[in-house]
Structure 1
Amino acid sequence: MINLNRNEKILMVLHRHWIVMFLKFFLGLIFLIFPLLLFSFLTTIPIDLDYYLPIFAFSFVVYLMILVLILFIFWADYHLDMWIITNERIVDVEQKGLFYREISEFALERVQDVTIEMPGMLPTLLGYGNIIIQTAGEKSFHIKQVPRLNEAKDLILQNTILEKNERT
C-alpha cells in the first residue's frame, strides 16, 4: 500500500473506533426491523394476504439486499480507512466509496501543533475522538474518531522533534 523509505519504521496504525461501526450496524438493525413491524401491522388489516404476501416477500428481499449492500459499504469504509504514523511521516488512507481511495501524506518535520478533541459524552467515556494536526503552509490535517488519542499525539510530537533535530 505505501512504500517505506530507507530507515523508516511504522510506529502506529490507527483505524476508527469500533463504536462508530457498531452504531451504523445498530442503525441497520433498526432498519431491518421496520419491514417486519410493517408486515405484522398488515396482518391485522383485513386484506387478502394470499395476493399481497408474494409482493411483500419480494419487496422485503430487495430491501434486505440494499440494506446489506449499504452495510457492506459502511464496513469497507470503516475497515479500509487508516492513518499510518511512521518515524518520518503520517499517511492518511481514506476509502471514499467502493472504488475510490485517496492517499495523502505529510512529513513530520512540517508539524507545528497537534490537538486532540473528544466531542461529546460517548467519545469521552470510550476514549476516542479527533486528532487535528497543524502543518506548515498547508491546511490542517484531521484524523477522525480514533482511539488512543494521547498515545498518538505524544508519538507524533516526539517524532516531530526527533525529525526536526535530525534535519538540522
Structure 2
Amino acid sequence: MNRSKDLDIIAPDDPILETTEPTNIFTKEPSKDFPKKNHPPKKEEKPQTNQKIYDILGHTKSPFSAFLVNPKIFDFTERQDKEVVILAVRSHWIVNLKWIFIAILMLFVPNIVDMLDTLKSLPNSYQFILHLFWYLFTFIYAFEKFLDWYFDVYILTNKRLVDIKFNILINKHFAEADIGVIQDVSSSVRGVLGTFFNFGTVLVQTASEINQIIFKNVPNPERIIKAIQELRNAPNCSPKGGEL
C-alpha cells in the first residue's frame, strides 16, 4: 500500500476520520484530554400562572392561616392534572372564639362542682376519674372544632372553584364549579366585627348543576372576587375550565 511521504497530504487510500474532537494520529482515536462540552440540564417549565392574581391576593406563609395564597404544602385528593391551587381559604379565625370560650368554661366545671360539694359523697378515686373524663371530653370537643375549621376549605384553582366540608370528620361534602360557568360573583360584609376584621361572605352564581357556591365568613372577600373575575377574563378560559 502506497503511503504519502508528506504528513500534510492524505493519501487516497487513507481513511478519513470525521470528528470534531482532536484525534491521536497514531491510534486515530479521540484524544482523552479533550474536554467534553457539558450541556446545562433543561429547566422544567413551571405551570403558567397569572401574576396579576397573585398581586391581588398578596402572600401568606403560615399553613394555619385562613388565607393561603399559592400554598406549597396544601393539596386535595380531587385535584386534576396540571391544576394549580391559587388560593385556599378557611373561615376567619375570629369565628373560633365561640367554641374557644366554651372550652375554657368547660375547664372550670370540675372546680365549680367541687365548690358545691356535689360529688363529696363519692370516694376521692371516683372523683378523680370523673374529673379526668371531663377534661378528656373537653379536649375532644375543642380538638374536633379545630379540625372542622382547619379542613373546611374553599379552594380557587386555575380551573375551578371547590368547596370541601367535613362533618365531625366522618361525612365529607364536595362541591365544584368550573371557572367558565361562573355567571356572577358578589360579597357581603355584615356587623362591626366583619367590618373591623374584614371578613364576610362571597356568593358565586354558576350555570352548572350547583347553582351557587357560598364562601362563608372568609377573610378579604373583595380580593377573592377580584381574583375570580381575573380568572373569568382570562383569554383561554372555557366553560370546561381553562388553564392560565
More strand by share: 1
Provide the residue aligned with 2:108 in structure 1.
33
Does the alignment pair 1:74 with 2:139?
no
Q: Over alpha carbons, which structure has the higher Rg? A: 2
Q: Which amino acid in 1 is paired with 2:165?
A: E
5 Å-filtered alignment, 1:18-167, equals: 18-42=93-117, 49=120, 51-137=122-208, 138-162=210-234, 166-167=237-238
- Shift in Å at residue 27 of structure 1? 1.5
Higher RCO structure, 1 or 2 (CA under 8 Å, sep 6+): 1
Change (3 A) 1:51 1:86: closer
2-structure distance, mates of 1:98, 1:145: 20
- Shift in Å at residue 151 of structure 1? 0.8
More helix by share: 1
Q: Deviations over 1:36-75 (max 9, x none)?
A: 1221232xx9x9x474543332222222212211111111
Provide the residue aligned with 1:4 in structure 2.
80
Change (3 A) 1:125 1:2: same
2-structure distance, mates of 1:166, 1:154: 16
2-structure distance, mates of 1:36, 1:123: 36
2:206–2:212 contact (8 Å) kept in structure 1? yes
2:87–2:157 contact (8 Å) kept in structure 1? yes
Does the alignment pair 1:17 with 2:92?
yes
Q: Which amino acid in 1 is paired with 2:90?
A: H
TM-score by length of 1: 0.83
Change (3 A) 1:104 1:15: same
2-structure distance, mates of 1:109, 1:153: 15
- Shift in Å at residue 107 of structure 1? 0.3
TM-score by length of 2: 0.59
> Which structure 2 segments of 5+ residues have no match?
1-76, 240-244
2-structure distance, mates of 1:59, 1:95: 31
- Shift in Å at residue 155 of structure 1? 0.5
2-structure distance, mates of 1:5, 1:17: 30
2:163–2:213 contact (8 Å) kept in structure 1? no
- Shift in Å at residue 136 of structure 1? 1.5
Q: Which amino acid in 2 is paired with 1:108?
A: I
2-structure distance, mates of 1:61, 1:166: 57
